[in-house]
Amino acid sequence: MPDVHCNFDPCRRIIVTEEGPLKGAWWLCKITPMPSEYLIETISDVLYGDEIKVNRKTRLEHLDSCNRDHKINGRVKSIVKELDDQEFWIVIKEEPYVLNRVNQPRGQCIAFCVHPEISLFTYPEHLHLNPPIGITYPASICYSEQPSVDNKRIDQTIFEITIWLLNHMLFSVNLKKRNEVKWFGKQGDPLDDIYFYESLHPDGRCRCGSGKKLKDCHLKEILPSLIKKKPELFLLNTVSKRVKYIEERYKSVNDEFRDFFLKEFDKVDFSQ
């Protein structure tokens, strides 16, 4: 495995020595995706998948060489007006994760947002989160379909995630304003519902965007498909059994992972 470097300032490498699924090299990054100027132009570039820059401070920047007409519709403009400058604490596993299964990372550096929490418990309807990987890792950021395997993979991952985070900010504001589930950017097609309902809590919001709790919306409709897909795991035909299963299998993994890395962030000096 070649040496891995990172050219972004608010990123630090740590080594977890404890035995277990977290053992190994990780990168802790504080990403602030909002551009400091040319906001409309930059967001237009993100939405249309045009070339864009991420500076050393992890802010998106509009390219001076870009000379196209930058237009966004009135609906997106109204969302942009409500965007706040946010800092996201991102955890990236240095070694690419290879899992040859549908809708899971394939040779990518898997990444997670631990603050503010972006998970299937805070955003069960999210269109660009990977489902949890068994009981090893919680839901990860679905940022690209391309593997990242060389010594520049952390820079590549941070670049992709910074764009993803701006799209997430638009998604989040629109969800709150209109109760609408819509991804505005160009980062691939949403994953199939079946891979998400497997790990959603019945008391969380349904992924359809209705605003209702899952148990009061699509749970009864989706359970037969889950049972057919994994009968050994999903013979859970009551809400109470489902709640217990999710709490034991996924919620504890999500919370323990997040708590561990929040403490690691507190130990790291990002000022140097």
pLDDT above 80: residue 84: yes
Does 243 map to a domain? no
Does 144 map to a domain? yes
Could you tell me which residues come within 8 angstroms of residue 7 by beta carbon, excluding any fewer than 6 positions away? 56, 155
Question: Tokens standing for 198?
Answer: 């497997």
98 vs 137: which has the higher pLDDT? 137
Instruction: Provide the domain limits for residue 116.
Output: 11-188+252-267
**In 3D, which of 121, 127, 122, 120 has the Cα closest to residue 143?**
127
pLDDT at 166: 95
Q: Is the dihedral of CA 108, 109, 112, 113 positive or negative?
A: negative
Does 215 map to a domain? no
> Reduced to 3 states, what is the DSSP secondary structure of residue 76?
helix
Does 146 map to a domain? yes
Judge whether 28 and 89 are in contact, CB under 8 Å. yes
Q: What is the 3-state secondary structure of 164-231? A: HHHHHHHHHHHHHHHCCCCCCCCCCCCCCCHHHHCCCCCCCECCCCCCCEHHHCCHHHHHHHHHHHCC
Rounded alpha-carbon distances, angstroms, from residue 55 to 8, 72, 162: 8, 23, 10
Helix (H) or strand (E) holding 243: helix 239-246
pLDDT at 230: 64
Give the separation between CA 18 and CA 89, rounded to whole angstroms: 22
Phi, psi of 256 (to 5 degrees): -65, -40
Rounded alpha-carbon distances, angstroms, from residue 11 to 30, 138, 160: 6, 21, 15
Rounded alpha-carbon distances, angstroms, from residue 124 to 112, 174, 205, 215, 242: 15, 15, 6, 13, 15
Least confident segment among 63-77, 145-159, 171-185: 145-159
Does 205 map to a domain? no
pLDDT at 135: 76
Phi, psi of 25 (to 5 degrees): -90, 135
Q: How many domains does the chain have?
A: 1
Judge whether 2 and 150 are in contact, CB under 8 Å. yes
Does 68 map to a domain? yes
Could you tell me which residues come within 8 angstroms of residue 108 by beta carbon, excluding any fewer than 6 positions away? 96, 97, 143, 144, 146, 147, 148, 157
Mean pLDDT of 66-77: 83
pLDDT above 90: residue 50: no
Q: What is the pTM of this model?
A: 0.84
The CA-CA-CA angle for residues 59, 62, 66, to 5°, reads 160
Give the separation between CA 121 and CA 175, rounded to whole angstroms: 15
Does 200 map to a domain? no
pLDDT above 80: residue 240: no
Does 117 map to a domain? yes
Q: What is the pLDDT of residues 105-135, one digit of tens each?
A: 556 889 999 999 999 888 877 878 887 877 7
